[in-house]
Structure 1
Amino acid sequence: MTFLRLPALLAAVLIFSGCSSSDEARVALEQRVQQLEDEKEIREVIIRYGEYLDARDYAAYAALFASDGVWTGGFGSAQGPAAIQAMLEEHLGKPEEGFINKTNFHLNTTVVVDVQGDSAKARSRYLFFTASPENRPVVALAGRYVDEFVREAGQWKIKRRTTHGVIPHRDGNDPNPPPPPASLGGVTRPQ
Structure 2
Amino acid sequence: MELCFATNNQHKIDEVAGQLGQLFTLKTLRDIGCYVELPETTGTIPGNSRQKAEYVWTHFGISCFADDSGLEVDALNGEPGVDSAFYSGSRDFRKNIEKLLTNLTYVTNRKAQFRTVFTLILQGVEYQFEGIITGQIQFEPRGDGGFGYDPIFQPDGYKRTFAEMSITEKNGISHRSRALAKMITYLQQQIH
Fold similarity call, TM over 0.5: no
Q: Which has the larger radius of gyration?
A: 1
Greater relative CO, 1 or 2 (CA 8 Å, sep 6+) = 1
Relative to its length, the structure with more strand (as a share) is: 1
